Structures are given as C-alpha cells and as structure tokens.
C-alpha cells in the first residue's frame, strides 16, 4: 500500500508539472461582415477541444457563464474557429471573454480577457495561419510553453459529447448556444442514420434508399449524396424480373419504412423496381430541436429529374399523422437545367423553394400559404455553394437564402387553424391543435433533420412543365411511371454527367450543418 501511495504522489506531481507546462495561446478576435464575431486560436498537437465564453459590454469575472458559450470540437485550416453571426458587435464595444482548451486530456484556462471591437477591420476571411506552432517561438502567441500566466488547476467540466449528440439536447441552453455542429470531418453514423426503404417520401419516386458508400460518403470535409443506377448493382434485367428485398437482418441494415411496399418489391413487365439507388439521412435518434437557427451550406445536384431536399419532420408526431404534426422544408430544388413552367419561368436548378406543410389530415394541407421560391438571375444552385437558413422562434419562422429573407411565416392570433380556414372549408372536422396554447402549433415540438436526393415521382414534377431538349418521359397518373422513366434513360442520364467528376455533378454536396438555440 505504501508503494502505491508513493507512485500515486509521483503521478500527481507529473500531472501538475504538465499543467504548468502549457499556456492557452492568445485568441484572435475579428468582426464578421455584415454582422457577427469570430474568435480563434491556432491549432497544435494535443488540442482536442476549444471553448469560448463571452459577453458584450458586460463584466465576465473568472469562469462565470457568458451570454454566449460555445464548444468547438474540431479544427479547420490550422485553426480552432468559433463564428457567431447572430451576435451584434458595434464599433467600440468591449468583448469580455475567457478561454478553455483541452490539451493532452487536461483542461487549461485563460481568464479575464477583453477586446475592443473596431468596425474598420471587419473580415470574412479565415485568420492567417501562422508559420510556427505554439512553443516554437516567434510572434503572435507562439511563446515557449510555460511562459505567461499560470492556468488554474480547476477547469470547468469538459463535455463528453459534441453538440447535437444528445437527442433533444440543447433545449435548456442559453440563446445563441451552438447545439449542433456538423463539419463532416468524418462520416458520423451515430449521428446520421440511413433510411433503408423503397417507399421514398410517399410520392412514388423512382429511387430506393440504402446505406452504401456509392451513394453517401464524406470526402475533404463535405458530405456527398449521389444517386446511381440500380442495375449497376443488380445487373441487366433486374428491374423487370428481379426482387428487391431490403428487410435486413441486423439492427444496422433493417428496413426503416414498409409503407408503399418499402421493404420488398418485385419487378414485372409493367411494374419496374425502383431504377435508382440513392441515400436519405436523418437525425431522429441523435438530435432534434425546437426553436433555433438552422444553417446549411450546400450545393444542389444538376441533372434531369433529380429532387434534392434538406428538411425536418417531427420526432414524435404530437398531433397525429402527416400533415397534422407538420413538416418544414428548408430547401427543395429540381436538377433540370432547362425546365420551365406554363408561364415560361425557370423551375429547375435555377430555383429553390422553402415550404411548411400543415393541416388536420391529408389531403387538407395549407402549404400554399407558407411557401416561397427564389430564382437566380445568373448561375444555378448547382453551380456553387449557397447558404440556406431558417430562424424558428415561438412567434414565427423565417427562411433565408444567402442571408436574404425570402419567407416569414406568422399565422396570427388564430394560429394555423385560422390561417388554413379549415373550419369554413370543411365544417365539422376536429381541430387537432385545439388543446395547445402555442401560437405556432404544430410547430412547437422537436423536429429532426433529413437530407436526401430523390428522383422523379408522381407529384413534384408537374405534367405542365416543359423540359428541353427532351420532354418528361412519364405522366404522373401513369400506372407504369417508373418503367416510362427508365425507358427514357438515354435522354436524361447523360445530363447527370456520370463520366465526369466521379458523377458528382448529380450529387448534393453539404459543407456544414449548424443549429443555434434561439
């Protein structure tokens, strides 16, 4: 026992020695144009977490909680960077802050720090990467370990999960807290569950969803969701004579949706199996939130009859089946380059839409009153990345594209029941939301995230649309729609550019997904 005590004492001395041997590098603070604040420190070996706590024009003594408190769980481009585009910092404002770094498994702090903002130096560029790492000498905070103030030995509690890993986590956090931060440094399958189903989204689309690295993968900090041909996996003749059985056997590959014959389909001369294989990812088991700012930077796919979507569904269906419990579509688009509506307006990849679905039951759906589109005058949503955002409070929902407000949804004092005029249009039906006091019911419950690329189907591509140079190969009321689509392959498949850029022109690419508490 005495020998064990002595060894424990020696270990404690070594720990204390290591504590004194590291100093948190000085932070770089700068304004973001047109609004916001960036705080960063340089990356270095051993750093596994960076946290910043701050208030504007308010004292922040010791390790007190700030008005804004964030954990950064991974570095990017040589820096640990926190960006907050919700906070307003004016010229002359004082940012009082303290820092926390987890280094080699131990926590270190720098306390009682302050910085005075100057609007003469706003920036949208990342901080300059130093030519030396902390401890190599030189300027800008690269002093040798051990210099400067000695950090405390009582660091704040270190989080054991990254933002967004705790189901409904974050619902008690202060406004402005980053509660979900996905940078796609890895493909986190604990966070993103693959749906496995041929039922699609209930529109008889022509894809089935699976977990396959041909269709969903992460590379160079981006998520790719890319549709491929079913016959690439199963061979010629499978669509009209094979059996697609995706019931699964283990928890990781079980079919997630049997509706619309979603777990097994048989091909015949008139009833083709889904000719496209794609992916749909969701966070229903890992993350859901109520009220917040959702921000996604993504590039839409280009190719005829592609239907990408980033959207949300309720975790619990508190008010009944769809659409009684609501649906929020952050962005939907169509991949066609030359698709026009009956007025001759672009409705393909030059256009995106944001929509909310709600109503007492199908087909009573009030979505036309909560829908907006944005059409680019030059370029497309598939030629570059764009920022799609939604701000959801207890009073309203607002939708943005590249920081431009395109839709505000405020149902008024009578809520969505009154906005939908359901009592007049269908007298005698029950109001599924009558026992809720929330103004925004059914949008007062946790919603989870979904991202997918669908293809075709019998709803989203109207028969009144015109496409060039080749028309739509199926009609929405055709009993052989999937077959008709497939027989037009020689016309639409080349528009996906399958032999260029690894076929990724037809993929939805996602750079990041973030959610802040509001």
Residue 143 CA to residue 345 CA, distance in Å, equals 61
pLDDT (tens digit per residue) in 199-234: 999 899 999 999 999 999 999 999 999 999 999 999
- pLDDT above 50: residue 148: no
pLDDT (tens digit per residue) in 423-437: 988 888 999 999 999
**Residue 378 placed within a domain:** yes
- Write the DSSP string, 359-413: -SBTTB--GGGGEEEEE-SSS-TTTS-EEEEEEE-SS-EEEEETTEEEEEE---T
Q: How confident is the model at residue 67 (pLDDT cuts 50, 70, 90)?
A: confident
Q: How confident is the model at residue 165 (pLDDT cuts 50, 70, 90)?
A: low
- What percentage of the chain's residues is helix, strand, coil (to nearest 5)? 15, 35, 55
Same domain, 80 and 227: no
Same domain, 206 and 142: no
**Residue 278 placed within a domain:** yes
The confidence score (pLDDT) of residue 494 equals 98
Same domain, 371 and 450: yes
Q: How confident is the model at residue 175 (pLDDT cuts 50, 70, 90)?
A: confident
Same domain, 155 and 253: no
**Residue 187 placed within a domain:** no
Same domain, 124 and 230: no
According to the 3-state scheme, what is the secondary structure of 25-74?
CCCEEEECCCCCEEEEEECCCCEEEEEEEEEECCCCCCCCCCCEEEEECC
- pLDDT above 50: residue 71: yes
| Closest C-alpha to 454, from 318, 352, 303, 251 | 303
Q: How confident is the model at residue 326 (pLDDT cuts 50, 70, 90)?
A: very high
Lowest mean pLDDT, pick from 71-85, 171-185, 488-502: 171-185
Q: How confident is the model at residue 173 (pLDDT cuts 50, 70, 90)?
A: low
Domain that holds residue 278: 193-517
**Residue 9 placed within a domain:** no
**Residue 188 placed within a domain:** no
- The predicted model gives 58-70 an average pLDDT of 86
**Residue 502 placed within a domain:** yes
Residue 491, Cα to own-chain centre: how many angstroms? 33
**Residue at which a domain ends, from 160, 183, 210:** 160
Same domain, 228 and 111: no
3-state secondary structure of 12: helix
pLDDT (tens digit per residue) in 234-290: 999 999 999 999 999 999 999 999 999 999 999 999 999 999 999 999 999 999 999
**CB under 8 A, 24+ apart: contacts of 485-492:** 485/206, 485/275, 485/305, 485/456, 486/206, 486/239, 486/272, 486/275, 489/275, 491/304, 492/303, 492/304, 492/305
CATH (domain of 333): 2.60.120.200
Same domain, 125 and 235: no
Same domain, 128 and 202: no
Compute the mean pLDDT over every residue in the chain, rounded to the nearest whole number: 87
Residue 171 CA to residue 98 CA, distance in Å, equals 24
- The predicted model gives 52-80 an average pLDDT of 88
The confidence score (pLDDT) of residue 135 equals 37
- pLDDT above 60: residue 158: no
Q: How confident is the model at residue 341 (pLDDT cuts 50, 70, 90)?
A: very high
CATH (domain of 47): 2.60.40.2140
Residue 19 CA to residue 150 CA, distance in Å, equals 9
3-state secondary structure of 253: helix
Same domain, 288 and 409: yes
The confidence score (pLDDT) of residue 166 equals 52
**Residue 371 placed within a domain:** yes
The confidence score (pLDDT) of residue 105 equals 76
Residue 458 CA to residue 293 CA, distance in Å, equals 32
Between 176 and 332, the more confident residue is 332
Same domain, 280 and 381: yes
- pLDDT above 80: residue 154: no
Q: What's the number of domains the chain is made of? A: 2
Q: 301: Cβ–Cβ under 8 A, 6 or more apart, which residues?
A: 226, 227, 308, 335, 349, 382, 453, 505, 506, 507, 508
Residue 182 structure tokens: 């996905």
Same domain, 315 and 440: yes
Q: How many residues does the chain have?
A: 518
**Residue 5 placed within a domain:** no
Same domain, 346 and 491: yes
Say which residue the tokens 């009573």 belong to: 364
- pLDDT above 70: residue 86: yes
């Amino acid at each position: 026992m005495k020998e064990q005590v002595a060894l424990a004492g020696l270990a404690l001395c070594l720990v204390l020695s290591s504590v004194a041997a590291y100093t948190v590098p000085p932070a770089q603070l700068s304004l973001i144009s047109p609004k916001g604040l960036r705080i960063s420190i340089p990356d270095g070996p051993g750093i596994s977490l960076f946290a910043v706590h701050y208030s504007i024009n308010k004292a922040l003594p010791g390790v007190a909680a700030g008005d804004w408190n964030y954990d950064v769980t991974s570095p990017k481009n040589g820096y640990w960077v926190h960006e907050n585009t919700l906070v307003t910092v004016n010229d002359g404002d004082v940012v009082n802050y303290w820092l926390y770094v987890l280094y080699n498994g131990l926590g270190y702090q720098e306390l009682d720090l302050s910085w005075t903002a100057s609007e003469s130096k706003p920036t949208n560029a990342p901080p300059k990467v130093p030519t030396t790492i902390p401890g190599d000498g030189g300027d800008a905070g690269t002093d040798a370990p051990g210099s400067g103030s000695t950090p405390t030995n009582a660091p704040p509690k270190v989080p054991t999960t990254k933002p967004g890993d705790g189901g409904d986590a974050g619902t008690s956090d202060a406004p402005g807290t980053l509660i979900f931060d996905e940078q796609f440094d890895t493909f986190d399958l604990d966070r993103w569950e693959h749906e496995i189903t041929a039922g699609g989204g209930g529109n008889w689309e022509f894809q089935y969803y699976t977990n396959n690295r041909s269709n969903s993968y992460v590379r160079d900090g981006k998520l790719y969701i890319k549709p491929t041909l079913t016959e690439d996996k199963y061979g010629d003749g499978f669509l009209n004579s094979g059996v697609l059985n995706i019931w699964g056997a283990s928890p990781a590959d079980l079919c997630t949706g049997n509706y619309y014959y979603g777990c097994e389909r048989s091909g015949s001369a008139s009833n083709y199996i889904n000719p496209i294989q794609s992916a749909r990812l969701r966070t229903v088991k890992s993350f859901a939130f109520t009220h917040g700012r959702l921000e996604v930077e993504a590039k839409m796919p280009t190719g005829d009859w592609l239907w990408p979507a980033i959207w949300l569904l309720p975790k619990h269906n508190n008010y009944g089946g769809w659409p009684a419990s609501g649906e929020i579509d952050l962005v939907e688009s169509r991949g066609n380059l030359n698709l026009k509506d009956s007025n001759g307006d672009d409705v393909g990849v030059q256009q995106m839409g944001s929509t909310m679905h709600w109503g007492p039951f199908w087909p009573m759906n009030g979505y036309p009153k909560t829908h907006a589109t944005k059409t680019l005058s030059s370029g497309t949503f598939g030629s570059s990345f764009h920022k799609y955002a939604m701000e959801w409070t207890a009073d309203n929902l607002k939708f943005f594209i590249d920081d431009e407000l395109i839709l505000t949804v405020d149902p008024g004092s009578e809520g969505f029941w009154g906005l939908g005029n359901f009592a007049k249009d269908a007298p005698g039906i029950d109001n599924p939301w009558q026992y809720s006091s929330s103004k925004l019911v059914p949008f007062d419950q946790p919603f989870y995230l979904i991202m997918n690329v669908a293809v075709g189907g019998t709803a989203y591509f109207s028969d009144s649309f015109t496409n060039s140079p080749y028309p739509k190969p199926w009609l929405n009321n055709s009993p052989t729609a999937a077959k008709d689509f497939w027989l037009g392959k020689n016309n639409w498949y080349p528009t996906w550019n399958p032999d260029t850029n690894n076929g990724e022109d037809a993929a939805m690419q996602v750079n990041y997904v973030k959610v802040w508490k509001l």
